[in-house]
Amino acid sequence: MEMAHDIITDADFRRLTKAPAPGKYLLFGDEDYLKAYSAQSVRRTLCPDESLAPFNCISIDRAGYSAAALRSALTPPPMFVGCKTVSVTLTFDDLRPGEINELCELLADGSLFEYNFLMITVPAGGIDA
């Protein structure tokens, strides 16, 4: 499945994090610290009330990842804010072809991104550019 994409710079992404709007982003490259810092900036902006973080700031690591788990995280609307953040950390080399297809199908479902700021973070060396 081929999907349209734009590559933006780290500086562009940092500007975007000042007023995050729904969308889906793949954070990749050699600088894991910058990716973590950018993801944390989005979290601080979209989750100013830590008591609502379980509803508005969801994180999924590789051990907890499945397309079903990601869909479950994306489906409920945010609480008391216009946009929530869902963070996934994946190494694509570890995904089976079926998992990659499921992820692509999920990413193509526009209805899931009306109020979600999805960040898929790939550790350095975890994806073939």
Rounded CA-CA distance 83/46 in Å is 7
Give the amino acid at 10. D
Neighbour tally for 40: CB within 10 Å: 12
pLDDT per residue over 63-90, tens digit each? 999 999 999 999 999 999 889 999 999 9
CA distance 36 to 114: 24
- b/e map of 93-108 (b: 16 or more CB within 10 Å)? eebeeeeeebbeebbe
- pTM attached to this predicted model: 0.87
- pLDDT tens-digit series, residues 12-35: 887 887 888 899 999 888 989 988
